[in-house]
A and B are shown apart, each in its own frame.
Chain A
Amino acid sequence: MVDSIFLAVSVLTIGSAIAALEIRSLIYGSIALMLTLSGIAGFFLLLDSPFVAMFQLSVYVGAIAVLILFTVMLVRRELIFNKIEDPRRRYAGIGLMIIVMLGIGTIIIGSGLKTMETSVTTVDYRKIGEDFLTYYSPALIVMALILTSSVIGALALARREDVTNEQRTD
């Protein structure tokens, strides 16, 4: 059962990833990218980590994919892209991909993955939170500082001095 779902999710993820690269229409390409990202969320669900899966969905599909769609829709695609039909590039790309995949595959197979313990219980999200506040608390503090500074920076950049509030009648 899990194997068939795994196969289906793999086919969906890889197929839509290829489609995202190959489809000429940018809108359909971004839809395919969305499917890829959802497929990765499916992998996380299969790996018994729904917490990460839901964040994958809400951040990548709910925010980043929307951003990409929004950008694509506001840009006239003829102006920024011109097609370069060159079969040699395609074959070189496929060859490069095969080399990279083979390399990664040999590394993964040689890494002792087959002898790994797979019956580990699911990591509870409460445990993740506990770890964040105890052992990894310096990392949490650094992340919080970075995020706060970036939010303040964004607010400072987005602030417009020239617009007065007199236009508003509320």
Chain B
Amino acid sequence: MSTIAPEFRLSRFIASLTDIIFWILLIFSIIGLPLVFILLFYIKLPVVNGQLLTPYLAMTWMADPSRTIPIIKSLIHTEFFRIIAFPGFGFAALLAAATIFVERKFLAKIQLRVGPLYCGKIEGILQLMADGLKLMSKEIIIPAKADKPIFWVAPLLFVGTAAALTSLIPVAPGWVAANPNVGLLTVFATIGFFPIITVLSSWSANSKWTFIGGIRALHQMISFEIPLILSLLGIVILTGTLNLTEIVESQQHYWWIVFMPIGAIVFFITIIAELERIPFDLPEAESEIVAGWLTEFSGMMYGLIQLGTYLKLYAFAGLFTVLFLGGWNGPMVWPPFPQEIITNGITIGPITAHIPGLPLFDQEMLNGTLWFVIKTVGVILVILLPRGVFPRIRIDMLLHTGWYTLIGLAFVNIFIALGLLYAGVLGHGGLMQ
């Protein structure tokens, strides 16, 4: 049992929670409500449809689904929702958080262990929440001789850069947070920030383990950025565009992995190296240099770095899906929204509710999201797989692989793309326009 809080009882915990809720309600009704009414006395309320919009009327409207669903629908189509929730940060963070749990269970099953088991009774399903609570409640320790401003800001910058990368991934037709005309170049520019943040944070902690890890990360990321960029040039040559949405639309009939398997393999190996995963996890080699460049981070700072790492994992897996596996393209399997709900409304006993604004999402978008998520989760699982199987490789082998083999293979891929284009297999008059 737990030794940190031996006197812990769930009933007492819940009792204290209800206690807090009771006091909040009491204080709000004694002090808060009168204050609200005093404020309302001075605020000029708007008149809507000949009625004064009192708080009671506003609450009535909010509880009425025939009025709220159009509001929600208009909210969904705002830029804010795209950045915060669906194709942007919220969706990516959800998938990233799920990845952390799935990784632990998946690796445990590969290695005939049980993995997280106790928290949440059923296969340790609440382990992630427990870890999150633990990280949030832990003390943040800053090393005494650390360079404090850089040390504080590095985890935030890491998460921010990873989130910027996720915002470029198109999830469904028209559903992307940022759709620049030079999307692929933006991806390269964003990836270029990771080594800076890594090496700055590792230097600022003023510890030899972090510094060795940071220098290793710098070597690894810089040398693998070149094959990463070169392996994607074949797609740019064949599609003639840098926009990620247009690249997905060009794969309606054939995925690019069919024509450029070498490029896909090179890109896959480079993303494993960029993500610092086994067998390329030298920057975090836990058996040699404690935890590499993450050594001095504690508490929620470490949590933010982990979140950023898994956001980056999702972004790279999504990029692989978008570039090589056809993105959202797939057969239409999502059932259409029932037409009678739109025309007749929902009938429950004697009540018939007509709800305008349904459906919230069209069928095409839901289907696209489904296929994108299926493919991305598949890619994520394949990225996780080597961790259960392979040992770590030496740094000279890593750099040798990056500089000699992968760059050479990337050039072979470019020549394959050029050959396909000039032989007339693809392009005008070929298989694809």
Contact = CB atoms under 8 A, between A and B. Distances in A.
A54 B147 contact: no
A66 B185 contact: no
Contacts of B147: 27
Nearest to B225: A62
Contact of B192 (A63, A69, A73): A63
B193 interface: yes
Interface in B208-222: 218, 222
Interface in B281-296: none
B195 A66 contact: yes
Contact of A65 (B180, B196, B203): B196
B199 A170 contact: no
A20 interface: no
A61 B199 contact: no
A58 B196 contact: no
B298 interface: no
A58 B192 contact: yes
Given A27-B147, A168-B397, A54 B199 contact: no
Contact of A69 (B188, B189, B196, B396): B196
B186 interface: yes
Contact of B193 (A27, A54, A61): A61
Contact of B200 (A31, A55, A61, A126): A31
A32 interface: no
A69 B198 CA distance: 11
B182 interface: yes
B218 A61 contact: no
Contacts of B222: 63, 66
Interface string A76-114: 000000000000000000000000000000000000000
Interface in B138-162: 147, 150
A51 B185 contact: yes
Main secondary structure of the interface of A (DSSP, over half): helix
A51 B397 contact: no
B191 A62 contact: yes
A154 to B, nearest CB: 11
Given A61-B196, A62-B191, A69-B196, A27 B203 contact: yes
Contacts of A57: 189, 192
A143 B40 CA distance: 71
Given A54-B189, A58-B188, A66 B196 contact: yes
B18 interface: no
Contact of A73 (B181, B188, B189, B199): B199
B181 A50 contact: yes
A70 interface: yes
B218 A66 contact: yes
A125 interface: yes
A61 B240 CA distance: 26
B265 interface: no
Nearest to A63: B192
Contact of B185 (A55, A61, A69, A73): A55
B128 interface: no
A168 B398 CA distance: 12
A9 B192 CA distance: 21
A125 B196 contact: no
B242 interface: yes
Given A50-B186, A125-B181, 5 more contacts: A50-B182, A54-B188, A61-B192, A70-B218, A125-B182
6 contacts: A27-B150, A50-B185, A50-B186, A57-B189, A62-B189, A62-B225
Q: Give the 8 A-B residue pairs with the shortest CB-CB distance, closest first.
A: A62-B192, A57-B189, A54-B185, A58-B189, A54-B189, A58-B188, A58-B192, A50-B182
